[in-house]
Amino acid sequence: MKYILALVLTATLTSCSSKSELKYADDYDYDGVTLSRSKVKDTWLTRLSEKNPQLYVEVAKALLISRQANRSIYVQKEEINGRPFYFASYEDGGGKNVIIADYPSKEILFDHFNDSDGESLMDAADRLWIEKKVQGINNEIRARDYK
C-alpha cells in the first residue's frame, strides 16, 4: 500500500496523475478544476509545518542543500525511543528514506512517506480542489447577495 501511495504522490509531482491533464508548465486540470502545482506544493509544505514541524525543517534543509549542491538529498527517518527522528543526508538510506529532494530533476520524490509522517500531496490537492469548488458554488448561488 505504501508503494502505491508513493507512486501516486511521485506521479503528481513529476507529471500528471490519471486524474490530471497537463495544461501549462505550472497548472494542471484536477477533476475539472485548474490547480497550480506550486500552490499545491506550498499548501502541502504549510500543512507539513503545522502537523510535523521536525519533518518540515528537514525537508526545507534538503531542498536548500539539494539546490546548492545540485544533487539529491535524502530525508530519512529513524525511530529513537519509539519516536520518529528525521534528518537530511547526502547518502541514500534505502528503506529509511521518506522524501528525496532532487534539484537537478526539479523533483520531490516520496519514498517511504506515510500517514504518520503527515498529510500527503494529494490531500493538499484535494483541499485546494474543495476550496475552488466551494468558491465556484458560492459564486453561482450568489450567497454574497443575501443579508
pLDDT for residue 72:
97
CB-CB neighbours of 92 under 10 Å: 12
Please tell me what DSSP assigns to residue 114: -
If you average pLDDT over every residue of the chain, what do you get? 83
Q: How far apart are CA 71 and CA 30, in angstroms?
A: 30
pLDDT for residue 27:
81
pLDDT for residue 34:
86
H or E segment at 139?
helix 121-141
pTM for the full predicted model: 0.73
pLDDT for residue 25:
57
The residues of the chain scoring below 50 in pLDDT are 1-24
